[in-house]
Amino acid sequence: VTYFKVKGNSENFFVAGRNLPVWVLVCTLGSQCLDASSALGNLDLAYKYHFWDGAVLPLGLGLSLIIVGLFLAKPMNEMKPLTLPDCFARVYGEAAEIVVSLVTLVSFIFLLAGNLVGCGKIVSFLFGMDEYLGIMLATFLIWLYSAAGGLLSVAYTDVIQAAIGWTGFFVATCWIQQNMPNHAGVSPAYPLGDRPSIGDGMADPDSYDPIPNAIFFNWATIIVLALGNCMALDFQA
């Protein structure tokens, strides 16, 4: 359907014609923040290590949305670029455009890899297939609808994914709270378990003994996500 709506127009393909409804934007921004890699990573880190190890992911991503809404969305929309390098080209010249293109290409390859692995794990679990086959299947399906309709395809499939994903998270959270341990157990890395240090996990360098650097990585994760995710230009434009 979105293939026919694009009609060969580059603005429709790259930035959905700059006229997506607000409710679609809310759903698609929310589903982007809760993608496969961050969702599975959040659950794994929070349960395996400590509360803050998982909580830093949604905190950083949520802070990014606030920064974008307050400072970046309006000027970016007024500039009317098609890609992030367009913005740098207009302000700093063609050399900056090339550098930013290369940097974003490399960074988004890593982001895409994480999401594809997460999607593959989910597909392989649901349908009982080999994990690598699940990754290839997820890759093909994502490529197919993205190539067909560009950002329009991404936006409207995100609405469906958001509805299913948010419902699933809510139901799964209720089930986990009733049927599983509510904190990580004692381990060689965290001899005290989770509960004694949860309150100081972002402030006391000794709370994660014997690995105090975990606090550094938690704060670094929040800062990197809060600022780095602002470069997701598509829905700002």
- Note the pLDDT tens digit of each residue in 23-48: 888 888 777 766 666 777 777 777 77
Q: Within 13 Å, how many C-alpha atoms sit on residue 147's CB side?
A: 6
For the packed helices 51-67 and 22-33, what is the interaxial angle rounded to 10 degrees? Answer: 150
pLDDT at 194: 55
In the DSSP assignment, the letter for residue 199 is: G
pLDDT at 98: 92
Is residue 49 scored above 60 in pLDDT? yes
pLDDT at 95: 92
Q: 194 near 205, Cβ under 8 Å? A: no
State mean pLDDT over 182-190: 58
Q: Which of 133, 131, 132, 159 is nearest to 145 (CA)?
A: 159
Is residue 21 scored above 80 in pLDDT? yes
Lowest mean pLDDT among 38-52, 145-159, 185-199: 185-199
pLDDT at 187: 61
State mean pLDDT over 9-25: 82
* Burial (CB count <10 Å: 0-12, 13-18, 19+), residue 31: buried
State mean pLDDT over 77-94: 85
pLDDT at 189: 53
Is residue 105 scored above 80 in pLDDT? yes
Is residue 199 scored above 80 in pLDDT? no
When pLDDT is cut at 50, 70 and 90, the band that residue 99 belongs to is very high
pLDDT at 15: 80
pLDDT at 181: 63
191 vs 24, more confident: 24
Compute the C-alpha angle 209/213/214, nearest 5°: 80
State mean pLDDT over 200-227: 74
Quote the pTM value.
Answer: 0.71
Cα–Cα distances in angstroms (integers) from residue 26 to residues 33, 45, 63, 96, 164, in the given order: 11, 26, 15, 31, 15
Structure tokens at 105: 């290409």
